[in-house]
């Protein structure tokens, strides 16, 4: 069993999330704690602008430096909150902030300087999980699928985990331990872009905007007619795949409610592809407590439960996944498979950056 730290940033650039776990890199996972380090307005807006516009290279490098320093801040917060356990951390698993992602062209750009982070924290940093996966023919997502397999190892089968994050993904396990995973539709990124633009709200994670609206079922049906939603798993979307999700003719509340319906109904369509529908669906991610999405999902499954019912934190589970992937890397274990990302084979993906000691000593 090893201790590890995982670091991720939110797509909206409002925070860096860190988590500390203890695991064997297989199905023994102990959550120690998590933190959320809020980004200042300069960093937040810089990340948003960089994802939406082409910035000069020097500006991107300055932005990467500021983000890396904030990753290091999250590590210090974990060390202050859990000093004895954090002192035993063997590795940091880093999921950099994605600026560009075109998996069908084999392209991805993430920022987050592993050399600087390793120097600032004194720990080996394993990163570039997604770019390695794409280089091996995968889509670079969902990288959390094998972690969810570990969490559901003792669950009744078939088992299903739904992650509602920037996009929405599912991970399914059969009685025979077969795994099927993939991104199935939009998530909070599309919803938050809408409410920020037209409702002057920072987010809609509590349904503050969408709960006052009505779903436009015709818009939902039109959106789900996109070929993306009928493609077999594993799959991951490009922004063009969601162009039919057009709520521009609706008021802010109805538009938000309609996007929520698309999020939930995309899960429904994906579940139809599975060999066996689970009775129970576990939900995690920052959107896992959204009232409208959960109400709509309740019509798909007999029971929908939040992972918090198992003592897990849905807000930091993404970061825990990358801590676990860091341990997997150290142990030479696969971090993705053809069934989860579409890569050519189950491989130990990633890149190790170690400040001041040799690669062999790190492993």
* Three-state DSSP string of the chain: CEEEEEEEECCCCCEEEEEEEEECCCCCEEEEEEEEEECCHHHHHHHHHHHHCCCCHHHHHHHHHHHHHHHHHHHHHHHHHCHHHHCCEEEEEECCEEEEEEHHHCEEEEECCHHHHHHHHCCCEEECHHHHHHHCCCCCCCCCHHHHHHHCCCCCCCEEEEEECCEEEEEEECCCCCEEEEEEEECHHHHHHHHHHHCCCCCCCCCCCHHHCCCCHHHHHHHHCCHHHHCCCCCCCCHHHHCCCCCCCCCHHHHHHHHHHHHHHHHHHHHCCCCCCCCEEEEECCCCCCHHHHHHHCCCCCEEEEHHHHCCCCCCHHHHHHHHHHHHHHCCCCCECCCCCCCCCCECCCEEECCCCCHHHHC
Last residue of one domain, picked from the residues 277, 294, 310: 310
pLDDT tens-digit profile of 119-157? 999 999 999 999 999 999 999 999 999 999 999 988 899
The answer on 324 and 300 residing in a single domain is no
The answer on 62 and 101 residing in a single domain is yes
Mean pLDDT over all residues of the chain? Answer: 94
Last residue of one domain, picked from the residues 266, 282, 310: 310
Q: Give the side-chain half-sphere CA count within 13 A for 33.
A: 16
Does 96 map to a domain? yes
Does 89 map to a domain? yes
Q: Minimum mean pLDDT among 51-55, 101-105, 171-175, 191-195: which range? A: 101-105
Structure confidence at residue 201 (pLDDT): 87
357 — pLDDT class (breaks 50, 70, 90): low
The answer on 177 and 134 residing in a single domain is no
Does 196 map to a domain? yes
The answer on 335 and 275 residing in a single domain is no
* Position with higher pLDDT, 102 vs 143: 143
The answer on 19 and 122 residing in a single domain is yes
**Is pLDDT at 363 greater than 60 in this prediction?**
no
The answer on 222 and 255 residing in a single domain is yes
Does 147 map to a domain? no
The answer on 8 and 89 residing in a single domain is yes
The answer on 184 and 213 residing in a single domain is yes
**Is pLDDT at 3 greater than 90 in this prediction?**
yes
Domain count, the chain: 2
302-306 mean pLDDT: 96
pLDDT tens-digit profile of 226-262? 999 999 999 999 888 999 999 999 999 999 999 999 9
Percentage of the chain exceeding pLDDT 90: 85
Does 157 map to a domain? yes
Does 110 map to a domain? yes
Cis ω for the linkage preceding 158 (within 30 of 0): yes
The answer on 250 and 121 residing in a single domain is no
Structure confidence at residue 354 (pLDDT): 85
What is the pTM (predicted TM-score) of this model?
0.92
Does 29 map to a domain? yes
Last residue of one domain, picked from the residues 275, 295, 310: 310
The answer on 198 and 284 residing in a single domain is yes
The answer on 287 and 324 residing in a single domain is no
Give the domain range for residue 61: 2-142+316-362
- Residue 107's domain is classified under what CATH number? 3.30.420.40
Distance in angstroms (rounded) separating the CA atoms of residues 63 and 75: 19
The answer on 338 and 271 residing in a single domain is no
Does 345 map to a domain? yes
């Amino acid at each position: 069993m090893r201790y590890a730290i995982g670091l991720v940033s939110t797509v909206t650039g409002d925070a860096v999330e860190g988590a500390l776990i203890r695991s064997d890199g297989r199905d023994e996972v102990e959550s120690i704690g998590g933190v959320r380090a809020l980004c200042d307005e300069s960093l937040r807006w810089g990340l948003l602008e960089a994802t939406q516009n082409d910035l000069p290279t020097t500006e991107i490098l300055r932005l990467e430096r500021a983000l890396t320093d904030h990753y290091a801040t999250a590590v210090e917060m974990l060390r202050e909150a859990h000093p004895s356990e954090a002192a035993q951390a063997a590795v940091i698993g880093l999921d950099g902030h994605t600026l560009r992602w075109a998996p069908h062209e084999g392209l991805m750009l993430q920022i987050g300087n592993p050399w600087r982070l390793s120097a600032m924290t004194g720990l080996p940093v394993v990163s570039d999980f997604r770019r390695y996966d794409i280089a091996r023919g995968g889509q670079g997502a969902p990288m959390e699928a094998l972690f969810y397999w570990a969490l559901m190892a003792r669950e009744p089968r078939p088992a299903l985990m739904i992650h509602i994050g920037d996009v929405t993904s599912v991970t399914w396990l059969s009685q025979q331990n077969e795994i099927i995973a993939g991104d199935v539709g939009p998530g909070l990124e599309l919803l938050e872009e809408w409410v920020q633009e037209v409702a002057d709200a920072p987010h809609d994670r509590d349904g503050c905007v969408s709960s006052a609206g009505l779903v436009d079922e015709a818009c939902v049906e039109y959106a789900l007619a996109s070929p993306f939603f009928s493609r077999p798993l594993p799959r991951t979307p490009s922004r063009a795949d969601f162009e039919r999700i057009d709520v521009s003719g609706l008021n802010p509340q109805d538009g938000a409610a309609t996007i929520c319906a698309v999020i939930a109904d995309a899960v429904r369509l994906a579940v139809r592809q599975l060999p066996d529908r689970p009775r129970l669906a576990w939900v995690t991610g920052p959107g896992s407590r959204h009232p409208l999405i959960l109400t709509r999902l309740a019509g798909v499954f007999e029971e929908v439960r939040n992972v918090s019912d198992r003592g897990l934190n849905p807000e930091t589970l993404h970061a825990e996944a990358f801590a676990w992937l860091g341990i997997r890397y150290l142990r030479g274990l696969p971090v993705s498979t053809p069934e989860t990302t579409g890569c050519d084979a189950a491989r130990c993906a990633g890149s190790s950056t170690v400040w001041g000691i040799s690669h062999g000593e790190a492993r």
